[in-house]
Amino acid sequence: MMDQLIVQSLILGLLQGGLYALLAVGLSLVFGILRVVNFAHGEFAMLGSFAAVFAVTSFGMPAWAALIAAAAAGALVALITNVVVLRPIYLSRMRQKGEYTIIATFMLSQFLIAATTVLFGTTYRNLPGLWESNLNFFDYVYLSGNRLVAFSAAIVMIGTLFWIVYRTDTGRAWRALTQSPLGASVVGIDIHKYANYAFLVSGAFAGLAAGLLAPLMFVFPSSGVVALVKAFIVVIIGGMGSIGGALAAGLLLGVVEVMGTIFVASGYTDAYGFALMIAVLLLRPAGLFGKMGRAI
């Protein structure tokens, strides 16, 4: 029975970790390319989950179409954030741009939480899943169909992002920007355009991850805070700016949280992630896959 419980816990942790990774890769992508720490990333996810809920409840869309609405809403808000809030900062000549982007995105996140609360109230909402079944594998492992679908979608999307980064012109432009924005602009790369692409992908992934989590968790105005904390823990553990690190760290975080909840104490689920982050930083300050230079 103990072996079965360990296997069950490990698989549940990996399934949860895939969604953590999907939340974090967009944040890591933007940081790797522009060195922007985006504290509004959680609100991209929150607004995506609200878009998914209203797509189903108000427009009668099927659950799979609601995920498209979630990704579109996250991408749109991320694009507007880049154009209106962040671009004037990171393309300016002001000193300490990083500090200003942190302040600006933090204030934006508080505004979005307050605006969502005013518009939609504090009611907890939920989204129907894509596969409302409990699966039994050989009477040994029991899984939720929704979790399995969510994990599969997350892995496909992260794999697609890897393909974009390493096999397309957009990815080559992104990687050039990670090395030297000035050098990239000298050789003809449009910083504005590719920064917009990065934010579109970041917001879409955040919204999609939140839409996939919505059947498993409640949707409410401050739910983005939880998403942001998980995403930052994953990015710090994996290495700031590393997409591969975000994937590995997300899976690791999911396993640690589930194992700790089952075998240690269920009341300290969030603490296990912070403990893991502190341990990694003590051993590898740059993260598991972090580099001293700019990279994605």
Q: Are 128 and 53 in contact (CB under 8 A)?
A: no
For residues 54 and 233, what is the distance between their CA atoms, to the nearest angstrom? 29
Give the model confidence (pLDDT) of 72-117 as tens digits: 999 999 999 999 999 888 777 777 888 889 999 999 999 999 999 9
Q: Residue 128's pLDDT band (boundaries 50, 70, 90)? A: confident
Residue 244 has pLDDT above 70, yes or no: yes
Lowest mean pLDDT among 106-115, 178-187, 197-206, 213-222: 178-187
- Asked whether residue 274 carries a pLDDT value surpassing 70, the answer given is yes
Q: What is the pTM of this model?
A: 0.91
**Given this model, what pLDDT does residue 1 score?**
62
**SS3 for 259?**
helix
Which pair of tokens denotes residue 98?
């990083």
Alpha-carbon span 63 to 67, nearest angstrom: 7
- DSSP-based three-state secondary structure for 86: helix
Report residue 266's pLDDT band, with 50, 70 and 90 as the boundaries. Answer: confident
Q: Assign 141 to helix, strand or coil.
A: strand
Report how far residue 119's alpha carbon sits from residue 165's, in angstroms, rounded to the nearest whole number.
Answer: 38
Q: How far apart are CA 71 and CA 48, in angstroms?
A: 6
Domain borders along the chain are: 2-283
Q: Categorize the per-residue pLDDT at 265 as very low, low, confident or very high, splitting at 50, 70 and 90.
A: confident
> What tokens does 64 get?
């799979």
Q: Which residues pair with 219 in a beta bridge?
A: 125
> For all residues of the chain together, what is the average pLDDT?
90
Domain 2-283 sits in CATH 1.10.3470: yes
At residue 57, does pLDDT exceed 60? yes
Tell me the two tokens of residue 187: 């050789």
Asked which of 56-60, 111-115, 199-203 is least confident by mean pLDDT, the reply is: 56-60
Distances in whole angstroms, Cα of residue 253 to Cα of each of 54, 90, 199, 258: 30, 31, 25, 9
Q: Which residues contact 143 (CB under 8 A, 6 or more apart)?
A: 11, 12, 15, 134, 135, 137
